[in-house]
Amino acid sequence: MVSGLITFGLHGKGVPPNMATVQMDAVGDSIGGLIRKVIEAKPGLKERLIVGGKLRTDITILVNGRHCMFMEGLETKLSEGDKIDVLLPMIGG
């Protein structure tokens, strides 16, 4: 992994490969700040994460495998090498 970068992964049915993994400099940012940066960098991602101008409530956001709701939510600060995984809801069976 390149020093100083945060890895952002989007997981779910139909996620295009060009949106599945993004690395960017977001050390010191919050999860919410990282999500804003990734949305700006990847056209089409906004439609998958934002509904009615707000972040979808049915997604799960993990920081290094730990749910952000058990941390500081979207205000959780990021450190070098962190891995953020956004899990879109899965339907079917």
Sequence ranges of the domains in the chain? 6-87
This prediction's pTM: 0.87
The CATH class of the 6-87 domain is alpha beta
**Residue 1: which pLDDT band, with cuts at 50, 70 and 90?**
very low
17: left (phi over 0), alpha (psi -120 to 50) or beta: alpha
pLDDT above 60 (res 89):
yes
pLDDT tops 80 at residue 2:
no
Averaged over 48-77, what is the pLDDT? 94
Q: What is the mean pLDDT of residues 39-65?
A: 93
Nearest to 61 by CA among 39, 37, 43, 88: 88
Looking at the chain, the number of H-run helices and the number of E-run strands are 3, 7
